[in-house]
């Protein structure tokens, strides 16, 4: 199966070169140019591997690495650090930051692809981080990004899926619109989206999951919660 790779690199020429060559090899690619957005994006995309530059605006590569490796949703994702000469790269792997490998710039494409292949081969299969939520006739399979109603897939958009996941994961607790924006849209985008966008997506989500849609309860002037119990 093809694997998705997340590139975190602020030098756009390098990011583009990586993206081009990885796509040519059949990988799917997502890219982000600053460190601050990287941990949330990793949790959302659940890539098979992260290529992580060390010197980044926002959060530096070490801090991104630490956050990804301490978040249970992303801890199993292998990381290859991209470092410049003289950055004592060997210590990154040894120091317990949790990087799986590193490669020193400038590197050849051939070398990079070989490292990527080797790290992916060693990686824990994604099936082992599988997470499933159930309520009544509704089942949410996070590893397969699938919502099932009475065993049949509901045709949710990515946002609707993330909204439902956030609500079900909260176990009946009320979530504000702002929190839902943060969880279902990438964190960095949250500020530019109006909170009523959440209402629109909740509306379509409710319709798509049929009778189970009544479990999504509106909390007036605040947000939503998911009712896990059958009443």
Binding site for Ca ion (CB under 5 A): 10, 53, 55
Spell out the residues 6+ positions from residue 198 whose beta carbon is closer than 8 angstroms to its own. Answer: 163, 177, 180, 181, 184, 223, 224
Beta pairing, strands 49-53 & 101-105: unpaired
Beta pairing, strands 79-84 & 101-105: parallel
Q: How far is the CB of 60 from Ca ion (least distance, A)?
A: 9
Q: How far is the CB of 14 from Ca ion (least distance, A)?
A: 8
Nearer residue to Ca ion within complex by CB, 103 or 205? 103
Q: Which of 112, 45, 55 is nearest to 89 (CA)?
A: 55
Q: Which of 11, 7, 10 is nearest to 19 (CA)?
A: 7
> Token match 């309860």: residue?
217
Nearer residue to Ca ion within complex by CB, 84 or 200? 84
Which residue is nearest to Ca ion, using beta carbons? 55
Nearer residue to Ca ion within complex by CB, 53 or 100? 53
Q: Which of 118, 111, 94, 101 is nearest to 51 (CA)?
A: 101
Alpha carbon 134 to chain centroid distance? 21
Nearer residue to Ca ion within complex by CB, 53 or 162? 53
Residue 131 and residue 34: Cα distance in Å, rounded?
A: 29
Q: How far is the CB of 87 from Ca ion (least distance, A)?
A: 11
Q: How far is the CB of 10 from Ca ion (least distance, A)?
A: 5
Nearer residue to Ca ion within complex by CB, 5 or 54? 54
Nearer residue to Ca ion within complex by CB, 38 or 164? 38
Structure tokens at 86: 């003289």
* Cβ neighbours of 91 (radius 10 Å): 10
What letter does residue 87 receive in the DSSP assignment?
A: S
């Amino acid at each position: 199966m093809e694997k998705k790779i997340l590139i975190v690199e602020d030098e756009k020429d390098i990011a583009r070169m990586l993206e081009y060559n990885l796509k040519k090899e059949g990988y799917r690619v997502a890219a982000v140019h600053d460190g601050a957005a990287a941990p949330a994006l990793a949790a959302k995309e659940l890539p098979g591997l992260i290529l992580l530059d060390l010197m980044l605006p926002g959060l530096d590569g070490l801090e991104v690495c630490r956050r990804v490796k301490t978040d249970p949703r992303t801890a199993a994702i292998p990381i290859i650090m991209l470092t410049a000469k003289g950055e004592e790269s060997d210590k990154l792997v040894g120091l317990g930051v949790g990087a799986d490998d590193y490669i020193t710039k400038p590197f050849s494409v051939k070398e990079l692809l070989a490292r990527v292949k080797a790290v992916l081969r060693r990686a824990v299969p994604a099936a082992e981080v599988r997470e499933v939520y159930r309520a009544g006739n509704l089942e949410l399979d996070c590893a397969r990004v699938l919502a099932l109603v009475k065993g049949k897939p509901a045709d949710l958009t990515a946002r609707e899926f993330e909204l439902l996941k956030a609500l079900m994961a909260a176990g009946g607790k009320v979530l504000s619109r702002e929190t839902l924006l943060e969880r279902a849209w990438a964190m960095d985008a949250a500020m530019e989206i109006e909170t009523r966008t959440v209402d629109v997506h909740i509306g379509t989500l409710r319709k798509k999951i049929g009778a189970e849609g009544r479990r999504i309860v509106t909390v007036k002037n605040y947000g939503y919660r998911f009712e896990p119990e059958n009443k």
